[in-house]
């Protein structure tokens, strides 16, 4: 299918099932964190998946290519990003299984109804207003800082839209890990799996991948570290596998 690109947009190859995605570098482009999250998520055959703050739809599109889930929905508050995501879904001929909804994470349960999904994913803004410099370009600021929603908003709405026993997957920064685990617990989202991501084997981790279960029993598995680079510009084998190279 041919899709007309708008001013400032580009078409990127996802290296997966021939999928491509529309992005605008002037707004916000997906990063490695979204790809690593898609590799960490487990979706069973027939399950329904919701991605909160989907941006240009990278996670639903990748999960559609990697798993046997039944349906994949992306919720995005920024109209231009939601429009790019919808056109990427059409471009890849995925309208039968992937849908994009424009709306606010804080209203997810009202939009979709309680206990509507088996799996929820999220690559949320990492920074509060006390962390780092705010990007002067609003779309990028919204993606990186908790301007339109907080992590507590994400956890609360996730708990509402997940079915009992449903799973929540997220990627975040390790410096907020204690706060994240406490907030998940507040909403009965029990952490079950955790994996720390290191840029190099001798560096501190700069990402954490988490799986939580709605109403799960206390017991968490800490998986082996995920190392990104063997040397500058050269990924470790596992990273190439996740990207699909």
Could you report the per-residue pLDDT of 33-61, keeping only the tens digit for each? 999 999 999 999 999 999 999 999 999 99
Instruction: Look up the pTM and report it.
Output: 0.92
If one counts every other C-beta atom within 10 angstroms of the C-beta of residue 23, the result is 23
* H helices, E strands: number in the chain: 8, 13
pLDDT tens-digit profile of 104-122? 999 999 999 999 999 999 9
pLDDT for the residue 130? 53
If one counts every other C-beta atom within 10 angstroms of the C-beta of residue 88, the result is 27
**The token pair that represents 178 in the structure block:** 């204690």
What is the overall mean pLDDT for the chain? 91
Class of domain 10-243: alpha beta
pLDDT for the residue 133? 45
**The token pair that represents 137 in the structure block:** 């370009």
Ranges of each domain in the chain:
10-243
């Amino acid at each position: 299918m041919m899709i007309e690109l708008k001013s400032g947009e580009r078409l990127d190859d996802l290296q997966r099932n021939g999928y491509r995605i529309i992005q605008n570098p002037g707004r916000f482009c997906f990063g490695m964190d979204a790809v690593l999250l898609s590799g960490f998520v487990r979706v069973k055959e027939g399950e329904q998946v919701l991605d909160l703050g989907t941006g240009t739809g990278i996670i639903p599109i990748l999960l559609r290519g990697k798993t046997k889930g039944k349906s994949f929905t992306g919720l995005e508050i920024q109209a231009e990003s939601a429009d790019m995501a919808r056109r990427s879904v059409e471009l890849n001929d995925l309208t039968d299984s992937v849908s994009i909804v424009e709306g606010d994470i804080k209203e997810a349960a009202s939009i979709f109804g309680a206990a509507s999904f088996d799996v929820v994913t999220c690559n949320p803004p990492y920074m509060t207003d006390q962390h780092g410099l705010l990007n002067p370009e609003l779309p990028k600021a919204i993606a990186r800082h908790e301007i339109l929603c907080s992590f507590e908003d994400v956890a609360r709405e996730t708990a509402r839209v997940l079915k009992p026993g449903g799973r929540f997957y997220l990627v975040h920064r390790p410096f907020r890990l204690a706060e994240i685990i406490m907030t998940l617990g507040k909403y009965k989202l029990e952490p079950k799996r955790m994996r720390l991501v290191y840029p190099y084997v001798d560096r501190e981790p700069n990402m954490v991948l988490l799986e939580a279960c709605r109403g799960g029993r206390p017991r968490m598995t800490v998986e082996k570290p995920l190392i990104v680079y063997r040397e500058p510009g050269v990924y470790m084998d596992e990273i190439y596998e996740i990207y699909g190279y």
